Amino acid sequence: MVTNATGDERANPLAGKRAKGQAYLEFLADMHGAIGPDWYLEVGTQTGKSLLAADCACVSVDPEFTLKHEIMGAKPGLMLFQDTSDRFFESGFLDRLGVRFDLAFLDGMHLYEYLLRDFMNAEGYMTKGGTVVMHDCLPFEPSMAERDRRNAKTRAWTGDVWKVIPILREYRPDLEITVYDAAPTGLTIIRNLDPGNTVLRDRYDEIIAKYDQITDVTTQVRAFEVVSTDRSPWKGGAAAKTSAPRRMALPAPALTAVTSASSVAAAPVFPKGDGPLSFVIQTAAPNARVMPNWGDYFFAKGLAEALERQGHKARIQARNRWNVSEAPGEIDIVLRGRADYARRGSTPTLYWVISGGEHVPRPELEQADHIFVAGKALADRWSRQVGADKVSVMWQAFDATRMPMPPERVKRTGIVFVGIARKMRPIVQIAMQTRYSLKLWGNGWRETEAAKYVVADRIDNDDLGGLYTGAEIVLNDQTRIMRKAGLVSNRIFDALACGAPVVTTPTGGLPEDFRPFVTEVSTPEEFTEAVRAIRAETKEQRAARDAFARKMRETHSFDARASEVLAKVTELRDIKLAAE
C-alpha cells in the first residue's frame, strides 16, 4: 500500500498510473544539496541530466554516453567511463583511485541481476554513512516490467529491477530501505550500508536461481511499503546534513575523462640475448597484504617456482602494483581474475584465464600478445573474436612439489570436499541426499545443513596433498560461469595428481585424458552409482589411476605449463625478430 504522512491512499503501483511524488531528478537534487557528498558515483548517465545537480567529484559509468548537457559545471573533478558497469567494477580502477563515495545513483541496465550486481559492487566503495539510490523499482503497468523491452506497452520501461527490493529485504535485513513514489517510477533509498558485507556475493547463484522463478510482478510490487511525498524529506528536512560538507581536493586542473578500462596494445619489446627471462605474474588480489588469502596466489606461486626451476626469474604482483617495474625486459603473465587489466605499454603480455572470463571486453583481449585459456569452449569463442593464432588452450595445473604420489598400498578412506560453502555447494547437496558420510574443510559450512560433516574451517595448502593421497573420493563442483566457459577446476588436477578418484557436477568440458578418472553427476542416484563403481574398481583400474597420476607430472604440472609459456615466448620473439 502506498501512503503519505497522513495515511491517505495514493496511486497504487501497477494501477496504470505513474507515481505521483516529486519528480525523481528534483528528488535527487535535494539529496545532493542536503548530503553534500565529497564523491558521487553514478551508473547509467546516458544524456547527463542526472549529473547536473552534483557539484562534487564524480565518477560516472555508462556503456554508451549520449551527452546533451553541460555536465562539468563547478565540479572539482569528473571521470566518465564508457563501459559496462560489470567491467568497470572488475577493472580495479576504484581500488587504485582509493576513494569512498557518500552518494551513489544506480540507473543502469533494467534487469534485476544487473542492478543487484551494481548494488553489491557499489556498496563495497561507499562510506559507512553513505546512501545508495536505485531508480525504476515502481512500474505502473505490468508490461513495463517485462524483461524484454519490446513487450512493454508503455513508452517507459522499468524491466524487472523491482525484484532487488525483496532480495535486499530477504538477504540483507541489516539495510535501511525506503521506497518513495518519486515520479514516474519511484526511487529506492538504501542506508546503513556495510561495505565489507559479502552475503549477496556469496549467495548470488542461489538468489538468481530463486528470483528467476518469481514473476508475479503485480502481487509483489503492490506489497511494497511506499512512502509518498510531494517534496523529498531531504529538502531541509530531518535527513539533511547538519554540518557543512567537506570537499575532497583533486589535483588541478580538474580531470575529465571518457575512457574504458582497456588500453591500446603496443608492439611488444622482448629482451635480447639468451640469458634468463624475468616474468611478472599479475594477480587480481587487491594488495600484497590480502594476496595470500586469494586462491590465485597459490596458483601464481606454483607457476613462479616452476619458471625459476627452469632457470628464469619470476615474481608475483597484486593489483595495486600492476604498473610497477623492477627490472628492464620484464614479461607479464596476467592471471585474469575479476578485474580488467591495462597492458604496461610495450611489455610483452600473456594472459592465462583460469576462472571467470565471461565479461572480458574484446579490446582487452586484443591488447594481449597471446591468451592461454583453461577451457576449450571459451578458447574457441575468443578465437573467433581475435584470431585462432592469438588464443590457445592451456589447462589449469597442479604443484608437483605439494601434491605427492600416494604410497603403493595406501588404504583410501573418506569422501572429502575442500572449499568454502557458498551457502551450499551443489555437489555436497547431492551427496547429502544419499546414505554416504562426508568430510568437509572450509569456511561457512558450520552455518549449513552440512555442519555435522565439518572437520575444520580450513586446511593449510601444504597439507592438502596429504589429504588427497588418502581420500577415497574427492568431490568437486563448478560455478555456472566456469561450466559455461569449460574451465575445469584446479581441485580436479590436484586430486588426480594424488591418485584420488573424483566425483563432480558437470564441468562443461574435461581434458580428454581425465575422462576415465572423473565421474560427472547431477542427481543423488548418479552419485550413488559413482561411489559404488569406485568402490568396486579392479586392481587394474587402480593401477591405471596411479599410472595416470605419475603421467600428470609430465603433462599437467606447473613445470609442464612453464615449458608451454616459455615455448610461446620464444615463438612470439622469433616472429617479431623476423618481421624487423
Residue in the block written with cell 588404504 = 411
Residues 225 and 296 in one domain: no
Which H or E run contains 29?
A: helix 24-35
Are 351 and 489 within one domain?
no
For residue 486, what is the domain's CATH number?
A: 3.40.50.2000
Q: Which residues contact 315 (CB under 8 A, 6 or more apart)?
A: 279, 280, 281, 304, 326
| In-domain check, residue 222 | yes
Is 494 found in the same domain as 532?
Answer: yes
Same structural domain for residues 336 and 461?
Answer: no
Residues in the chain: 580
Same domain, 98 and 247: yes
Question: Where in the sequence is the domain holding 312, given as residue range(s)?
Answer: 278-397
Concatenated DSSP letters for 192-242? S--TT--HHHHTHHHHHHHHTT---HHHHHHTS-EE--SS-TTTTSTTS--
Domain assignment present for 266:
no
Residues 481 and 347 in one domain: no
580, part of any domain? no
Domain end call among 198, 232, 259: 259
320 and 231 share a domain?
no
Name residue, grid cell 574451517: 457
CB atoms within 10 A of CB 547: 11
Q: What is the CATH number of the domain that holds 33?
A: 3.40.50.150
Tell me if 348 is assigned to some domain: yes
Q: Are 228 and 2 in contact (CB under 8 A)?
A: yes
**Amino acid, res. 23:** A
Asked whether residue 365 falls in the same domain as residue 464, the answer is no
Do residue 381 and residue 461 come from a single domain?
A: no
Which secondary-structure segment (H or E) carries 469? helix 464-469
What is the spatial distance between Cα 52 and Cα 62, in angstroms, rounded to a whole number?
16
Answer whether residue 252 is part of any domain.
yes
Domain count, the chain: 3
In a domain? residue 255:
yes
d(CA 186, CA 188): 7
- Give the global pTM: 0.57
Residue 409 lies in a domain: no
Pair (456, 393) in one structural domain? no
C-alpha cell at 292: 595470500
Helices (H), 36-189: 85-90, 93-97, 112-123, 164-171
On whether residue 68 sits in a domain, the answer given is yes
Residues 303 and 252 in one domain: no
What CATH number does the domain containing 310 carry? 3.40.50
Same domain, 104 and 73: yes
Q: Where are the alpha helices (DSSP H) in 132-203?
A: 164-171, 199-202
Q: SS3 for 79?
A: strand
Tens digit of pLDDT at every position of the chain (580 positions) = 333 333 334 444 555 556 778 889 999 999 998 898 999 999 999 899 999 989 999 999 998 888 888 898 888 889 999 999 999 998 888 988 888 999 999 999 888 999 999 999 999 999 988 999 999 888 888 878 787 767 767 777 778 888 999 999 999 999 999 999 888 888 999 999 999 899 999 899 899 989 988 888 888 888 788 888 777 777 654 344 433 333 333 333 333 444 444 444 568 888 887 889 999 999 988 788 878 877 788 899 999 999 999 999 999 999 888 988 898 899 999 998 767 788 888 899 999 998 866 667 777 888 899 999 999 989 998 998 889 999 999 999 999 999 998 777 778 899 999 998 888 999 999 999 999 999 999 988 998 999 999 999 989 888 999 999 999 999 999 887 788 888 899 999 999 999 999 999 999 889 999 999 999 999 999 999 999 999 999 999 999 999 999 999 999 999 999 999 999 999 999 998 888 7
Strands, sheet with 278-282, edge to edge from the N-terminal-most edge strand: 313-317, 278-282, 330-335, 349-353, 370-373, 391-393
